[in-house]
Amino acid sequence: MTRHLPLSPETTRLEALKRLGEAFRSVGIETAQRDARLLTLDAVGIDHPDLIRAPRESIGAEAAEKLNAHAARRVAREPVARILGEWEFWSLPFKLSPDTLVPRPDSETVVAAALIALGARRHENEGVRVLDLGTGSGCLLIALLHEMPGASGIGIDLSPGAVETARSNARLNGVDARAEFRLSDWTAEVEGTFDLVVSNPPYIVDSVLEGLEPEVRVHDPRLALSGGADGLDAYRRIIALLPSVLAPGGVAALEIGSDQADSVTALATEAGFAVDGPYADFGARPRALVLKPKR
Ligand SMILES: C[S@@+](CC[C@H](N)C(=O)[O-])C[C@H]1O[C@@H](n2cnc3c(N)ncnc32)[C@H](O)[C@@H]1O
């Protein structure tokens, strides 16, 4: 623990925010104050309006114990999302497990690019079929089914724990009647064709993995990160499989690493696809490509 902690039951909400922020900054956490706020709100059991309405209220014994435990985990560089066990994506809640990647805001670019690529079918979406390859928490498929009430789809993953978590997230978000989740090595257990295929495959170059921040290196599953020697292993496999799962007129939206637009575009072009994008994430980095079979 740092010199700013532990907190006592008499600590005010405002003081807790300040001391947690200082504790997190002292160990080099860039999002220190945001993390302090999210963990304080959770431990005290209040929302943001409660906090600004009564900032000088004491946190009490129960919250102090919970917040000290939260803070110790964050100082040890466990991500806030893992401490809370839930994270938001596309303004929807997603439960996490050790087998699922924490959904990143960057990946919302894939959802947006997919909706753009569907054009009018985004709105007249009755019967639209979606396939999500490497579904993790289920965030891409569930966000898309939430946007398109007439659509249905399948999410697959090689991790049994991820499949289970994605299934419970579909229930949590009220799309479970239209979403199916399967254990599958990419498309091996998938039959039929789809109007939209989405994927955020593992794309980190293996030699880079050990240099990543502990939040990612220690806490995100390796299967969700490792892209092989050049980071492109999963793209090679997925692009080769796309013709067998895309319906006539179907499109695929793939997340890419910010330095992979040229290499993935080259793989897709060579395999006979026209490529739209790259579409940029909120940090203005290339983040998604849309692939359309050339007819
Ligand atoms: C980068 S994560 C993406 C998770 C989620 N779609 C998201 O955007 O947060 C990649 C996912 O692909 C899965 N995966 C890795 N290799 C796979 C394979 N051969 N077949 C199916 N899924 C695989 C991992 O388990 C992981 O859940």
Say if residue 5's pLDDT is above 90. no
Say if residue 295's pLDDT is above 80. no
Domain ranges of the chain: 13-76, 86-293
292: tokens are 């359309």
Q: Is 140 in the pocket of ligand 1 (CB under 6 A)?
A: yes
Q: What is the pLDDT of residues 15-43, one digit of tens each?
A: 999 999 999 999 999 999 999 999 999 99
H or E stretch covering 97: none
With contact defined as beta carbons under 8 Å apart, do 135 and 159 qualify?
A: no
The alpha carbon of 288 and the centre of ligand 1 are apart by a number of angstroms equal to 16
Q: Is 227 in the pocket of ligand 1 (CB under 6 A)?
A: no
Q: Is 158 in the pocket of ligand 1 (CB under 6 A)?
A: yes
184: tokens are 């599958």
Cis peptide before 6 (omega within 30 of 0): yes
For ligand 1, what atom is nearest to the CA of residue 159? 25
CATH superfamily, with its number, for domain 86-293: Vaccinia Virus protein VP39 (3.40.50.150)
The model carries a pTM of: 0.96
The alpha carbon of 124 and the centre of ligand 1 are apart by a number of angstroms equal to 29
The alpha carbon of 133 and the centre of ligand 1 are apart by a number of angstroms equal to 7
Q: Is 257 in the pocket of ligand 1 (CB under 6 A)?
A: no
Q: What is the pLDDT of residues 70-102, one digit of tens each?
A: 999 999 999 999 999 999 999 999 999 999 999
The alpha carbon of 182 and the centre of ligand 1 are apart by a number of angstroms equal to 12
Q: Is 200 in the pocket of ligand 1 (CB under 6 A)?
A: yes
DSSP letter, residue 185: S
Higher local confidence (pLDDT), 2 or 248: 248
Say if residue 1's pLDDT is above 60. no
The alpha carbon of 186 and the centre of ligand 1 are apart by a number of angstroms equal to 9
Categorise residue 264: left if φ over 0, alpha if ψ from -120 to 50, beta otherwise: alpha
Task: Tell me what the mean pLDDT of segment 53-70 comes to.
Answer: 97
